Amino acid sequence: MTARPFVLDPLFQSTKAVPGVGPRMTKLLEKVAGPCVSDLFWHLPVGVIDRRYAPNLRAAQADKVATVTVRVEAHFPPKRDGLPYKVKCTDGSGWLDLMFFNAKGDYLEVQLPVGETRIVSGRLEFYNGYLQMPHPDYIVTEEQRGQIPAIEPVYPLTAGLTQKVSLKIMRAALSRIPVLDEWLDPAHQQREHWPRWHEAIQQAHNPQDEADLSPKHPARMRLAYDELLANQLTMALTRQNHKRQKGRALAGDDALFQKALAALSFELTGSQKTAVEEIRADMRQGMRMHRLLQGDVGSGKTAVAFLAMAHAAGSGCQSVIMAPTEILARQHEKNIRGFAEKCGLRVVTLTGRDKGKIRKEILEQIADGSAHIVIGTHALFQEDVIFKDLALAVIDEQHRFGVHQRLLLSEKGATADVLVMTATPIPRTLTLTVYGDMDVSRLTEKPAGRQPIDTRLVTDERISEVVEALQRKIEQKDRIYWVCPLVEESEKLDLAAAEERFLHLQQRYGQRVGLLHGRMKPAEKDKVMEAFAHGELDILVSTTVIEVGVDVPEATVMVIEHAERFGLSQLHQLRGRIGRGSGKSICILLWNPKVGEIAKKRLATIRDSEDGFFISEQDLKLRGAGEVLGTRQSGLPEFRLAHPEFHSDLIATAYDDARLILDRDPGLLSPRGIALRTLLYLFERDTAIKYLRSG
């Protein structure tokens, strides 16, 4: 594989290479766009200023940007600090005061000499009946008229970077755009009426009106598609690389598998049966499995994972299931141990809490192979955890682990199959951008016996009524979750809100109210959770730490304060903590009626549906991708040009296009393939290029 094409080298230079950019400006540009010249291309305008309005002063309208030709009549320096410097001008039909705060008089006298004509451009306003232009954007002579743009793009700024300087730098950067060979399919490009890449960049940076800023504008659609195609091609090459990795064909043992099925003591749903067969078919092949098991809260992912682990055990091998928290690891242990013991499989659990002699015994059982199924947390990454023969690694809620950690775990078994599970409902299009390198199995039904949940919206003025209504539920021996609001991403304030609600409920219901929050030590959390699960507590006040993995069938009530502050997928996951037993369950969403229309629509969606995938699709439309998943923790790629909420159809097309490209040209050696390599370099998809090189 050749090095990066020479034609791209200027784009990967520091922004210092752009005329007019010094060390100070480099730092500011890095903050707002990025360190390289190419980052400036992706830094698209967010607005447009039309400077073509050129009225005579008598007819001029306030609150509009105007470009006017005037004669300078007089200067009026401020009489005291805090007042503006005023320059009086006329065009013969009326008067205009140019206003400057904290200005140097001698500089203004040079810029605006009395008796001379100047062209000024800026926003007009009326003050005390006088027409004013505070701090004009442009002051030029008649000969310099061409320096004032008729239409000016507006860029996102940061402190110290002005619009004028930004525009000048962007102009200089755009003059360096190379003409690259076309990587798009010609028929597709023609059908969509998309420009060439270099033309699309120029058009996107030179909007003529507000409509040109739309994500649906052909130039922006083209650039979004380029970014998505680079993403999908990377995913497809990663997947191709996975498929080349040697695995082990695990035949399984049908007698043991049937025992495991019987141990479940319930009938699998249709989608569980399909998922189990897809996973077992992968495990029987000689290539490593990389599969995602996506299932709504309570759809029965653990049962599917257990059957996959039983298949591995039937081949004489070990399995590991890793959870992001100790609470969830213990939950898996409780569920899986019950199934495993019925069919003679030994389960051990290793977490950070296991020390000394106990830890030594667990490690010995893992190393000598007597532990068939190992359950644990990050503690499993440690060097002294050595498996006799690891064949299957199951990773739960994988977005909470980095890719690096995922690799560390699968390296514990040289050819281990990988099954990733998530209960975060992700819209199909986003699944392609986050997990496009994996095969996907989806659980779409709830297991038999799951109760529907009655979800109600209650305004927060009625909170005292809700508190009183809990009495009846407590008398029925039901248990109650009370979830406190997120306070602007601040764990400290979240905690304060939870403590305040805890004290308030304790005053009413005494010592049978518990508190759970993210700052507690794992052992403290477990103690509170166990007290709630065993019925020693009636009400559990919590921040969102109960979101995943806590299973208390007696919990039938969930109250969520300030529900409008939570993402829909998060509300849905929280709600999934109830409705796990035979009792009728109710979820009360307390909300502030002063919220906007979008928040009202979102809350209506969660009230009216229990389908996590439908809910996440709606959330994507209403709030955008980063908000739906919480970009930092979701593994969602940071797109600069593509907006999944506007470009979801492009994601699906790019997914199909990438697969078709690699079917026809797996080494990217055709003329289009060579151009696509340039695309991968352009978007810094080095991983993909490495896979090509090794291929």
Q: Write down the pLDDT at residue 493.
A: 63
CA 257 to chain centre: 38
Could you give phi then psi for residue 162, rounded to 5 degrees?
A: -90, 165
Q: Average pLDDT in the 558-573 region?
A: 87
CATH architecture assigned to 254-443: 3-Layer(aba) Sandwich (3.40)
Give the span between the Cα atoms of 97 and 49, in whole angstroms.
Answer: 22
Mean pLDDT of 277-304: 90
For residue 3, pLDDT over 80 is answered with: no
Confidence of residue 625 (pLDDT cuts 50, 70, 90): low
CA distance 198 to 179: 6
Instruction: Tell me the residue length of the chain.
Output: 695
Residue 364 CB-half CA count within 13 A: 6
Which pLDDT score, from 0 to 100, does residue 633 have? Answer: 40
pLDDT for 544 equals: 67
* pLDDT of the residue at 272: 96
**Does residue 627 carry a pLDDT above 70?**
no
The CATH number fitting domain 52-148, selected from 1.20.1740.10, 2.40.50.140, 3.40.50.970, 3.40.50.620? 2.40.50.140
pLDDT of residue 688: 76
Question: Could you tell me which of 649, 566, 639 has the C-alpha nearest to residue 603?
Answer: 566
The structure's pTM equals 0.74
Query: Which CATH number applies to 453-609: 3.90.1150.10, 2.40.30.10, 3.30.450.20, 3.40.50.300?
Result: 3.40.50.300
Q: Per-residue pLDDT averaged across 470-492, rounded?
A: 81
Mean pLDDT of 397-421: 68
- Tell whether the torsion through CA atoms of 494, 497, 502 and 505 is positive or negative: negative
* CA dist., res. 457 & res. 591, Å (int): 7
Mean confidence (pLDDT) of the chain: 88
pLDDT value of position 270: 94
Least confident of 30-39, 43-52, 364-373, 423-432: 423-432
**CA 175 to chain CA mean position, Å:** 33
Spatial CB neighbours of 506, under 8 Å, sequence gap ≥ 6? 513
Work out whether strand 130-134 and strand 125-127 pair parallel, antiparallel, or are unpaired. antiparallel
Indicate the domain borders of the chain: 52-148, 254-443, 453-609
Q: Which residues contact 163 (CB under 8 A, 6 or more apart)?
A: 137, 152, 154, 155, 157
Q: Report the alpha-carbon distance of residue 548 to residue 301 in Å, rounded.
A: 13
Q: What percent of the chain has pLDDT over 70?
A: 92
Give me the pLDDT at residue 550, please. Answer: 63
Q: Are 665 and 606 in contact (CB under 8 A)?
A: no
In this predicted model, what pLDDT tens digit does every residue of 117-138 receive, in sequence order? 999 999 999 999 899 999 999 9
For residue 450, give the nearest of 580, 301, 272 by alpha carbon: 580
pLDDT band at residue 636 using 50, 70 and 90 as cut-offs: low
Please write the tens of the pLDDT for every residue from 541-557. 988 656 455 678 889 99
Cα separation, 514 vs 517, in Å, equals 10
Helix or strand holding residue 669 (H, E)? none
Q: Which residues, other chains included, contact 12 with Cβ-Cβ below 8 Å and sequence gap of 6+? A: 4, 36, 37, 38
pLDDT tens per residue, range 31-44: 999 999 999 999 99
Q: Are 194 and 200 in contact (CB under 8 A)?
A: yes
More confident residue, 246 or 221: 221
Place of tokens 């049978």: 512
Question: Do the domains 52-148 and 453-609 sit in the same CATH topology, yes or no?
Answer: no
pLDDT at position 253 is 93
